[in-house]
Structure 1
């Protein structure tokens, strides 16, 4: 029996100085991408701030909405999509993700890659990613090819414009029903 499975992509805008600078250039509403395996976003991964108070220490992160960076930015806006995948693709993604989890201290934030996007030139280093590059890389290594370009050229807006992603929510992150329910406990 083939049961529908999904992964979830959240694009967000915290309103920080860094995101506002990127937003001015990209003209896109969201500039951060995260990958989750559950619709309540309890298990979410990306490349971003390792410490919510320090924007200069970036790398691979397991994001926690209630204690991580988002907890400092209550007015964060977001859009959440689901992508239909197979059980086998989820297994592959989790294996790829496991490498990141086990070696999280070895990964750096690819700030030069962000600049490379503006030049339409991929800038890749081993063990160095920016958020949308990471999400696209996990999908790609799992056999899910959604764009005709390298993960190092995928932007958060590419997720928003891709027909394979189905919108499930757009608005304030802390107004998303599963998060509101968690907060009211």
Structure 2
């Protein structure tokens, strides 16, 4: 059976929202993204649609070296490589493509964050927060099995995924210097 790899990227940016979530959850990496790209220039999640406006949230295509990650120079990250089957990989890609096609209809699920805090799932049509989005994709593709519904899964709980291998942890503006880190050697960082 052939395998492919996906990447889960967990970050701590220092935005007011990430600081607030950290205060209540004590989770270091409060933001989660998924990528098929080992250069991390195309990552998918729910977050700021405009790095300058903390209230503009929705489905986002992120780049680990741009946007919010460039704006907040002390960003830290944890990157996992996860082995998946070809069927799982293509299922994930199809789901992400569907989000990309209709990205304007999706909004950030701010209210859902309170549901996580109160352990009461708040499902809103076309509204997601980052770990809800990533966990739903992974669950729909039979990659992540967890006892909670996506509306209650924090980024910290996504760390329980199987078949993972840590490939980097540290400051984003230093990750390109790590020898052997796939795809990073050709990235020029200008922080």
State if a TM-score over 0.5 links the two structures: yes
**Alignment of 1:120 onto 2:119:** yes
**Alignment of 1:183 onto 2:188:** yes
Aligned to 1:135: 134
**Alignment of 1:73 onto 2:72:** yes
CA distance in 1, matches of 2:55, 2:189: 33
Q: Give how far 1:16 is off.
A: 1.4
Change (3 A) 1:66 1:169: closer
Contact 1:174 1:180 in 2 (8 A): no
Consecutive unaligned residues of structure 2, counting only runs of 5 or more, are 177-182
**Alignment of 1:107 onto 2:106:** yes
More off after superposition, 153-162 vs 17-26? 153-162
Q: Give how far 1:176 is off.
A: 1.2
* Segments ≥4 residues shifted beyond 4 Å: none
Secondary structure in 1 aligned to 2:74? coil
Q: TM-score, normalised by structure 2?
A: 0.90
Contact 1:96 1:142 in 2 (8 A): no
Change (3 A) 1:161 1:93: closer
**Alignment of 1:26 onto 2:25:** yes
CA distance in 1, matches of 2:83, 2:134: 15
The number of residues matched between the two structures is 184
Q: TM-score, normalised by structure 1?
A: 0.93
